[in-house]
Amino acid sequence: MSQFRIEQDSMGEMSVAADALYGAQTARALENFQVSGVPFPRPFLRALGLIKEHAARVNRELGLLDERRALAIMDAAEELVTGELDRHFPLDIFQTGSGTSTNMNANEVLANRAGQLLDEPLGSRSVHPNDHVNLGQSSNDVIPTAMHLAALIETHNRLLPALREMQKVLGEKARAFDAIVTIARTHLQDATPIRLGQIFGGYFRQVAIAAGELERSMDGLCELPLGGTAVGTGLNTHPEFAQRVIAGLAEVTSLPLREAKDHFAAQSGKEQVVAVSGALKTTATALFKIANDIRFLGSGPRCGLGELRLPAVQPGSSIMPGKVNPVMAESLMQVCAQSIGNDAAITLGGLAGNFELNVMMPMMTHNLLQSIALLANGVAGFTSRCLRGLDADQQRCEALIEESLAMCTALAPVVGYDQAAAIAKQAYQSGRTVREVARDSGVLKEQELDRLLDPRPMTEPGIPGRTR
């Protein structure tokens, strides 16, 4: 048997691999775009399959597509939804800026697969990629619709649940560590006492704020561009097509999807995508801070801060036996850095709305879905393999407090700022504690000194030496 077959498009004949379900346009794009070797990800292909499946169903209901072809296209599209046809989607992300090559890839694959289901040979075009599969659609409204849909599904099904689980575990640690008083740090220098539970309560709130902003940003993606066709006018589509397809997509995804209020804005502008990317960047910023703090608080085990004990998940060195590193924190920090870089590219992509069409949608899609996937996986791994098993060294925390020069802060309201500063300076120069210097100076009675230098009350609002 021949390894190739001949298919045709508007530019003429093209050799196509004999067992490939795609056709001539995809084969041309394969030759044109040999850039990264990175294809569209599974969530995008799933969304594309859902759109094509519901488009065929609605076109059948509207009397625009005969039942035999419609059912075959729907069955083929369901195979795309479930991942059975993924190997027939080889095109590079870095392609035509509208994603036309990938939309036609889907049209050709579904047309050929539908033909097979109708016992027609590959390339017969008995089910036509443009006339039947792409009926009522354009790459210019299908690709951004798939981008929105994929991002919504992945965020709601994977990233937001991962963030909520992280919140839950951080809340548990905040309660568990609330009795442990340690030293706070500002400018990387010792500051006043703080409860370890307060630190983790802060982390809890950071994640809650980031998750809330992300969830709110998702609303913009619920407006789908489908129905605008080429430039937003809706040429060559039935007036009821978009609202019916979107209603079907909303039902199967349980998402509050709706047709774009203005198709011209929806196809030429990508501010909603940039906004979601910004929320992902905000999330990454919070996560980086939390992971980095925990990494430093767990530094040691003997010559670092050592206030936290991180779970040992793997050997840390090829040369130093017994070394264990904070690898889960480092992994999450790298995920955050990549997500922030992706946001920069998405922002630049958002600038490329030239007249009636944005022409950087494939790159924006790739970066957006990569950030969602990386953050979902990174957060889940960090939560399960680091946060959940995190423990505190209470003895170490208490020892650090007593050594801190910032303990003199509680003396200032009673003895004055200048005298408190002199005590701190003398303690530093002599290598003694604030308590020892203050006791030797006789500035306060022993009982009063012990009351003022009790670290626990310093973690609450109030003025030492006065009514709290």
Q: For 265-274, 335-344, 440-449, which range has the lowest pLDDT when averaged over its residues?
A: 440-449
pLDDT at position 328: 98
pLDDT digits (tens, 9 = 90+) for 365-384: 999 999 999 999 999 999 99
Q: Which one of the listed residues 187, 254, 339, 430 is annotated catalytic? A: 187
Mean residue pLDDT of the chain comes to 96
Q: Which of 103-138 are b and which e, b meaning 16 or more Cβ less than 10 Å from the residue's Cβ?
A: bbbbbbbbbbbbbbeeebebbebbbbbbebbbbbbb
Task: Say whether pLDDT at 468 is over 70.
Answer: no
pLDDT at position 466: 72
Amino acid at site 132: H
CATH of 4-135, one of 1.10.275.10, 2.60.40.1220, 3.90.1150.10, 1.20.210.10: 1.10.275.10
299 as an active site residue: the answer is no
187 as an active site residue: the answer is yes
pLDDT at position 357: 98
pLDDT digits (tens, 9 = 90+) for 6-54: 998 899 999 999 999 999 999 999 999 999 999 999 999 999 999 999 9
pLDDT at position 463: 87
Q: Contact, 69 vs 127, CB < 8 A?
A: yes
pLDDT digits (tens, 9 = 90+) for 235-278: 999 999 999 999 999 999 999 999 999 999 999 999 999 999 99
pLDDT at position 467: 56
CA atoms within 13 A on the CB side of 4: 8
Distance from C-alpha of 225 to C-alpha of 242, rounded to nearest angstrom? 9
Q: What percent of the chain has pLDDT over 90?
A: 95
pLDDT at position 339: 98
Strands (E) across 231-285 are located at 258-259
CATH no. of 404-459 = 1.10.40.30
pLDDT at position 8: 87
Q: Which one of the listed residues 98, 317, 318, 441 is annotated catalytic? A: 317
Task: Say whether pLDDT at 465 is over 80.
Answer: no
Kindly report, as residue ranges, where domains of CATH 1.20.200.10 are found in the chain: 141-395
| Distance from the Cα of residue 453 to its chain's centroid | 45
Q: Quick one: average pLDDT of 115-127? A: 95
pLDDT digits (tens, 9 = 90+) for 150-169: 999 999 999 999 999 999 99
Q: What are the distances in angstroms from CA 264 to CA 103, 165, 242, 260, 430? A: 20, 39, 15, 9, 73
Task: Say whether pLDDT at 287 is over 60.
Answer: yes
pLDDT at position 1: 53
Q: List phi, psi (to 5°) of 195.
A: -85, 140
What single-letter DSSP state applies at residue 337? H
Q: Contact, 73 vs 116, CB < 8 A?
A: no
* Top mean-pLDDT range of 238-242, 438-442, 464-468: 238-242
Nearest CA among 62, 79, 73 for reference residue 108:
73
Q: What are the distances in angstroms from CA 416 to CA 408, 411, 423, 449, 452? A: 10, 7, 11, 14, 13
Q: Quick one: average pLDDT of 455-464? A: 91
CATH topology of domain 141-395: Fumarase C; Chain A, domain 2 (1.20.200)
Kindly report, as residue ranges, where domains of CATH 1.10.275.10 are found in the chain: 4-135
Q: Contact, 444 vs 438, CB < 8 A?
A: yes
pLDDT at position 307: 97
Neighbours of 19 (CB within 10 A): 12
Task: Say whether pLDDT at 279 is over 60.
Answer: yes
Q: Which of 256-292 are b and which e, b meaning 16 or more Cβ less than 10 Å from the residue's Cβ?
A: ebebbeebebbbbebebbbbbbbbbbbbbebbbebbb
* Residue 76: pLDDT band with limits 50, 70, 90: very high
